[in-house]
């Protein structure tokens, strides 16, 4: 059996596991699309913002996982909050299996003290899963001698099913620290490609906790800041799936570099993530590469992710949030 066949078998086995567990798409650049991480981020940057994100998972597998996301969020002063819209497309197995999500979020702001601010958010979404049945090969339509395809007796009665989804989140931040909680799929909707079996394939509730800081670093007793350090920590659980991401970024003059580890709570390491990016006026660009360290490290080819964010207006007041950080010189010991 050649390497290409082995790779294909590994990929489709993992694809079946992913479908069975109903696991959400997981981006390495969590804060490049904050609305997907936590609906409480809607409008939090203080001006209209557009975020674009693309993820190409496992380069050595043809037609593996590809994810496209576009999001926009706008502050609304009359509502004392903000609104946002996030569209995500998840393409698997060469677009044979496709999932489209459209989520609308609303958040409200509350000032807790002179230093801390809290956001609470709600989200409602529409999901549609599409399966190209004509691209599938079932045992009863395959000639074992010549490989010819006949007409399958397998019947998938609902290859394009949809459902409504609800999520919520909370965010608290100051100039130096931030933390938040989010719960997605509150009603745990069911998914099935067969009519009359809508009570199967539960989409498990996803719990997310994230925390981080933005700390100035001074060296050799100088009064002028040298660079910023941002340690960050994210933990997620969805059904039996658990994921822990932790790492650190260093930023100077708008250029950012850093590394993350991704693992399960059982200390099973999955990937080492390298990231580089920059902020220039009202634009932010980031590239990350996932170097697989699990059992697939020699076959996956790694994963690339690219994100772009644009502020559509000049910020009147600085917002100290993890996903759009403009470097500031600071004088004096803080």
- Please report the sign of the dihedral spanned by the C-alpha atoms of residue 185, residue 188, residue 189, residue 191: positive
Q: What is the pLDDT of residues 69-110, one digit of tens each?
A: 999 999 998 888 999 999 999 988 777 888 999 999 999 999
* Residue 78 belongs to a domain: yes
Task: Give the burial class of 9: count Cβ atoms within 10 A of its Cβ; 0-12 exposed, 13-18 middle, 19 or more buried.
Answer: exposed
**Which has the higher per-residue pLDDT, 14 or 182?**
182
Residue 15: pLDDT above 50?
A: no
Residue 233: pLDDT above 80?
A: yes
Q: Residue 326: its pLDDT value, please?
A: 52
Separation CA 252–CA 55 (nearest Å): 26
* Residue 321 belongs to a domain: no
As a whole number, mean pLDDT of residues 308-331 equals 65
Q: Residue 225: its pLDDT value, please?
A: 62
Residue 13: pLDDT above 90?
A: no
Q: Residue 218: its pLDDT value, please?
A: 77
Confidence of residue 7 (pLDDT cuts 50, 70, 90): very low
**Residue 264 near residue 243 (C-beta atoms within 8 A):** yes
Q: What is the pLDDT of residues 30-48, one digit of tens each?
A: 888 899 999 999 998 888 9
Q: Residue 331: its pLDDT value, please?
A: 38
* Residue 316 belongs to a domain: no
* Residue 141 belongs to a domain: yes
Domain that holds residue 111: 3-217+286-309
Domain count within the chain: 1
Alpha helix segments (H runs only) across the chain = 3-21, 34-37
What Cα–Cα distance (Å) separates residue 107 from each residue in 42, 43, 321, 325? 6, 7, 16, 21
Q: What is the pLDDT of residues 261-309, one digit of tens each?
A: 999 887 788 899 999 998 887 888 999 999 988 766 556 678 999 999 9
What is the percentage of the chain residues whose pLDDT exceeds 70? 76
Residues 6+ apart with CB under 8 A from 146: none
Q: Residue 22: its pLDDT value, please?
A: 56
Confidence of residue 317 (pLDDT cuts 50, 70, 90): low
Confidence of residue 17 (pLDDT cuts 50, 70, 90): very low
How many other C-beta atoms can be found within 10 angstroms of the C-beta atom of residue 93? 20
pLDDT averaged over every residue in the chain: 81
Task: List the beta bridge partners of residue 208.
Answer: 182, 236
**Which has the higher per-residue pLDDT, 62 or 305?**
305
| 3-state secondary structure (DSSP) of residue 297 | coil
What is the percentage of the chain residues whose pLDDT exceeds 90? 41
* Residue 326 belongs to a domain: no
Q: Residue 140: its pLDDT value, please?
A: 64
* Residue 250 belongs to a domain: no
**Token digits for 112?**
């807790």
**Which has the higher per-residue pLDDT, 267 or 233?**
233
Residue 1: pLDDT above 80?
A: no
* Residue 273 belongs to a domain: no
Residue 2: pLDDT above 50?
A: no
* Residue 244 belongs to a domain: no
Q: Residue 228: its pLDDT value, please?
A: 84
Residues 6+ apart with CB under 8 A from 260: 28, 232, 245, 246, 247, 272, 273, 275
């Amino acid at each position: 059996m050649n390497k290409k066949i082995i790779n294909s078998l590994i990929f489709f086995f993992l694809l079946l596991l992913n479908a069975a567990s109903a696991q959400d798409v997981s981006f390495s650049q969590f804060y490049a699309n904050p609305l997907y991480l936590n609906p409480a981020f809607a409008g939090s940057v203080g001006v209209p913002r557009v975020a674009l994100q693309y993820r190409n998972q496992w380069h050595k597998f043809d037609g593996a996982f590809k994810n496209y996301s576009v999001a926009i969020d706008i502050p609304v002063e009359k509502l004392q909050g903000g609104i946002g819209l996030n569209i995500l497309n998840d393409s698997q197995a060469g677009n044979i299996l496709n999932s489209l999500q459209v989520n609308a979020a609303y958040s409200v702001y509350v000032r807790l003290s002179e230093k801390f601010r809290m956001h609470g958010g709600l989200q409602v979404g529409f999901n549609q899963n599409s399966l190209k049945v004509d691209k599938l090969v079932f045992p009863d339509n395959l000639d074992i001698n010549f490989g010819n395809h006949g007409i399958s007796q397998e019947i998938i009665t609902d290859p394009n099913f949809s459902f409504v989804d609800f999520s919520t989140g909370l965010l608290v931040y100051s100039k130096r620290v931030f933390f938040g909680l989010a719960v997605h799929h509150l009603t745990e909707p069911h998914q099935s490609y067969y009519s009359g079996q809508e009570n199967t394939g539960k989409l498990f509730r996803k719990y997310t906790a994230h925390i981080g800081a933005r700390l100035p670093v001074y060296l050799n007793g100088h009064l002028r800041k040298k660079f910023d350090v941002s340690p960050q920590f994210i933990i997620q659980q969805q059904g039996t799936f658990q994921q822990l991401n932790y790492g650190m970024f260093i930023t100077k003059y708008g250029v950012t570099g850093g590394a993350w580890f991704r693992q399960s709570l059982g200390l099973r390491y999955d990937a080492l993530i390298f990231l580089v990016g920059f902020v220039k006026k009202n634009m932010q660009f980031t590239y990350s590469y996932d170097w697989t360290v699990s059992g697939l490290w020699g076959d996956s080819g790694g994963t690339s992710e690219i994100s772009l964010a644009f502020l559509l207006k000049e910020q009147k007041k600085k917002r100290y949030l993890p996903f759009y950080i403009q470097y500031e010189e600071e004088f004096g010991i803080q």
